[in-house]
Amino acid sequence: MFELQRLASDVVGQVMSGRSLDAELQSVWRRRPHLSAQHRASLQDMAYGTLRFLGAVDGVLAKMLERPLKDDRVRHLLRVALYQLVYTRAAPHAVVDHAVRACDALGLPAAKSLINGVLRNFLRQREAILAAVKRTEAGRFSHPQWWIDKLRAQYPQDYRDMLRHANAHPPLTLRVNRRRSTVDEYIARLTAAGINARRLGGSAVMLERAVPVSRIPGFLEGEVSVQDAAAQRAASYLQLEPSLRVLDACAAPGGKTAHLLECADVELLAVDTDAKRLERVQSNLTRLGLHAHLAHADAADPHAWWDGKPYARILADVPCSASGVVRRHPDIKWLRRPDDILRFAERQRRILDALWQLLGSDGKLLYVTCSVFSEENNDQIERFLERHHDARRLSLPGPHTNVQRLAGQILPDETHDGFFYALLQKS
């Protein structure tokens, strides 16, 4: 359907101008509430897929064009169509025909012959063009070159696998609410519903195939939540005990907040700077039958909201580049710039220093990012320890050898995203 192709090209264009992919898709759903579930899924695949493999798609486009394009709308339409031709099973003649027809909808009738010529020429030279594109790193890995270079420098043995996993479809992992069910009981319930799944450890259950949330047994009743397996490690690393006073800084959208409360009866305050996202925290807690105090506030400025009583545990899930979750958000790798990493690191430093003042003697602070860049992770913690002589880094509990080998850095793989954890204790 050419209209879906046109909408996808609009979404890609908005993302490349700086907008969030999720926000753009939500805007489309609001403007077009009558789109069927099937059409929504198709549109989402076109937008996500084009951005996931944009490096290769742009490599193909560069080989096919004799001169630079004057209109970015044509570029985005060609990007979407080339994604479909290279990475999907869509009928090639239909893809080309829809792209040509979409020119009228975009008000670009003069571009029809160009669109038709580029796509048909690609189909004739497909194998040779794709082979040439794969000889470049940006084409082979579909990431910006600076990102590839940074990962190679920091992870010379692992960077190829990291880039490959970053272009894969993410797993759908659930967190079983231990207050409502056991993992074994819930897996049995999934099996009875015809959904294959396997246990990943702790409360994590990974589905063999993704299904809509509406089809997940017990979701609306609060028996499970959707949460990546690596993100679920926060609750066990923080070593909670009943009645402890706990602060969840930068809490939205609330997955870790809820998990902490599922694990122990603690007195918890969840803080976030985004009032709308705090509403999502409350919505999650309500669905799960849990309670926490919520505060719309800045974790880096505790004097504006702190009551002066120290916390026994602090979860500092700080803002970051999100470089460990790009397979869920492929727009990130194209929107980030190298100097963004240093800006995130500076913000993280301010939050970490501010929160340390709120931690009681012998209390523990768990520093968390969903990043794989060392500037935000191990380098950040080493600098923190140099500034704060009353802090010591503890070993992370559990048999996670890959975490210990990389000093708290969890690299993305088939079962989880990339995360970083550091457990600090105040002496």
Any idea which residues carry the catalytic annotation? 370
What are all long-range contacts of 46-49, with beta carbons under 8 Å and residues at least 24 apart?
A: 46/4, 46/5, 46/8, 46/80, 46/83, 46/84, 47/8, 47/11, 47/12, 47/15, 47/21, 47/80, 48/21, 48/330, 49/83, 49/84, 49/87, 49/88
Torsion over CA: 200, 204, 207, 210 (sign): negative
Query: Which alpha helices (H) appear in 289-400, and where do they start and end?
Result: 332-335, 338-356, 378-387
Bridge partners of 249, per DSSP, are 316
Q: Six-digit token pair at 357?
A: 């003042």
Neighbours of 107 (CB within 10 A): 9
Give the Cα separation of 302 and 367 in Å (integer). 17
User: What distance, in Å, lies between the first and last C-alpha atoms of the chain?
Assistant: 63
Q: Give every CB contact of residue 174 below 8 A, 6+ residues apart in sequence.
A: 186, 197, 204, 205, 206, 207, 216, 224, 225, 226, 227
Q: What sign does the CA torsion over 30, 227, 372, 169 have?
A: negative
Q: How far apart are CA 114 and CA 78, in angstroms?
A: 10
User: Per DSSP, which regions of 27-70 are E strands?
Assistant: none
Instruction: Quote the CA–CA distance of 70 and 400 in Å, as a whole number.
Output: 52
Neighbour-count burial of 218, counting CB atoms closer than 10 A to its CB (0-12 exposed, 13-18 middle, 19+ buried): middle
- Kindly report the number of other CB atoms within 10 A of residue 279's CB atom: 15
